[in-house]
Amino acid sequence: MNPVTIRPSTAELVGALKEARARTLELVEDLGHEQMMGPRLSIVNPVLWETGHVAWFQEYWVLRHARGHEPIIEHGDALYDSARVGHDTRWDIPLPSREETLAYMQSVLDRVAEGISATPGEPGRYDETYFLYLTLFHECMHAEAITYTRQTLGYPPPRITVADAEDGKAAPPGASPGIEGDARIPGGEVMLGSAKESPFAFDNEQWEHAVEVLPFSIARAAVTNAEFAAFVDDRGYERREFWSEEGWHWRERAGAGRPVYWERFSNEGWARRHFDRVIPLEDRLPVIHVNWHEASAYCLWAGRRLPTEAEWEAAASAEPSADGRALSGLKRPYPWGDEFPSRERANLDWRAMNVVDVAALPEGDSAFGCRQMIGNVWEWTSTDFNPFPGFGAGPYREYSEPWFGDHKVLRGGCWATRSSLIRNQFRNFYKPDRRDVLAGFRTCAIP
Give the CATH number for residue 127: 1.20.120.450
Structural contact between residues 185 and 368, judged by C-beta atoms closer than 8 angstroms: yes
Tell me whether residue 102 is exposed, middle or buried, using C-beta atoms within 10 angstroms of its C-beta: 0 to 12, 13 to 18, 19 or more: middle
Tell me the per-residue pLDDT of 194-248, one tens digit each, with 9 for 90 and over: 999 888 999 999 999 999 999 999 999 999 999 999 999 999 999 999 999 999 9
What is the model's pLDDT at position 318?
97
* Confidence band for 3, pLDDT divided at 50, 70 and 90: low
Instruction: Specify whether the CB–CB gap between 385 and 429 falls below 8 A.
Output: yes
pLDDT in tens, 310-322: 999 999 999 999 9
Does residue 1 form part of some domain?
A: no
The string of pLDDT tens digits covering residues 278-315 is 999 999 999 999 999 999 999 999 999 999 999 999 99
The total domain count for the chain is 2
258 and 331 part of one domain: yes
- Comparing CA positions, the residue from 113, 90, 110, 94 lying closest to residue 44 is 90
Q: Do strands 378-384 and 408-411 pair parallel, antiparallel, or not at all (unpaired)?
A: antiparallel
105, part of any domain: yes
In this model, does residue 164 exceed pLDDT 80? no
Model confidence at 88, pLDDT cuts 50, 70, 90, reads very high
148 and 180 inside one domain: no
User: Which pLDDT score is estimated for 93?
Assistant: 96
User: Is residue 116 scored above 50 in pLDDT?
Assistant: yes
Report the predicted TM-score, pTM, of the whole model to 2 decimal places: 0.95
Kindly indicate the confidence band of residue 266, based on its pLDDT and cuts at 50, 70 and 90. confident
Cα–Cα distance between 226 and 34 in angstroms, integer? Answer: 37
Q: Would you state the pLDDT for residue 162?
A: 61
Between 4-8, 233-237, 252-256, the lowest mean confidence (pLDDT) is in 4-8
Q: How far apart are CA 110 and CA 104, in angstroms?
A: 10
Would you say residue 92 lies in a domain? Answer: yes
Write the Ramachandran bin of 167: left for phi over 0, alpha for psi from -120 to 50, otherwise beta: beta
Q: Kindly state the average pLDDT of the residues 246-267.
A: 94
Flag whether pLDDT at 172 surpasses 60. no
pLDDT of residue 267: 75
Q: How far is CA 148 from CA 105, 284, 434, in A?
A: 21, 21, 12
Statement to judge: residues 242 and 196 lie in one domain: yes
pLDDT band at 265 (very low <50, low <70, confident <90, very high): confident
Residue where one domain finishes, among candidates 93, 123, 152: 152
Residue 4: pLDDT above 90?
Answer: no
CA dihedral angle for residue 259, residue 263, residue 266, residue 269, rounded to 10 degrees: -20
Regarding whether 202 and 60 lie in a shared domain, the answer is: no
Q: Which of 152, 186, 208 is the last residue of a domain?
A: 152
Asked if the bond preceding 262 is cis, omega within 30° of 0, the reply is no
CA 110 from chain centre, in angstroms, equals 28
Q: Is residue 157 part of a domain?
A: no
| Whole-angstrom distance, CA of residue 351 vs CA of residue 65 | 35
- Same domain for 396 and 266, yes or no, is yes
Per-residue burial over 255-294, b if 16 or more Cβ lie within 10 Å, else e, is ebebbbbbeeeeeeebbbebbeeeeebbebbbbbbbbbbb
11-29: per-residue pLDDT in tens? 888 899 999 999 999 999 9
Q: Over range 41-51, report the average pLDDT.
A: 95
In this structure, is residue 174 part of a structural domain? yes
What is the reported pLDDT for 383?
98
The answer for residues whose C-beta is within 8 angstroms of residue 316's C-beta and 6 or more apart is: 332, 335, 366, 370, 373, 374, 411, 412, 424
Whole-number CA gyration radius for the chain: 21
**In contact, 99 and 26? CB cutoff 8 Å:** no
- Do the domain assignments include residue 161? no
Q: How far apart are CA 311 and CA 25, in angstroms?
A: 38
The pLDDT assigned to 115 comes to 83
435 with 348, same domain? yes
Q: Do both 124 and 186 map to the same domain?
A: no
Mean pLDDT of 360-373: 98
Does residue 158 lie in a domain region? no
The verdict on 381 and 265 lying in the same domain is: yes
Output the pLDDT for position 165: 39
Please check the confidence at residue 167 and state whether its pLDDT lies above 90. no
- The residue out of 152, 175, 195 marking a domain boundary is 152
Residue 94 pLDDT > 50: yes
Q: Residue 437, CB half-sphere, CA atoms under 13 Å: how many?
A: 26
195: helix, strand or coil: coil
**Percent of the residues in the chain that have a pLDDT greater than 70, as a whole number:** 93
pLDDT averaged over the chain? 93
Q: Quick one: 64 and 179 in the same domain?
A: no
Any domain includes 227? yes
Distance from the first to the final alpha carbon of the chain? 41
Residues 325, 427: one domain?
Answer: yes
**Residue 33 lies in domain:** 10-152
Whether 342 and 193 share a structural domain: yes
146 and 215 part of one domain: no
Q: What CATH number corresponds to the domain at position 347?
A: 3.90.1580.10
Half-sphere exposure of 173 (CA within 13 A, CB side): 8
Laid out side by side, the sheet with 269-274 consists of 262-266, 269-274, 277-280
Q: What is the mean pLDDT of residues 33-57?
A: 96
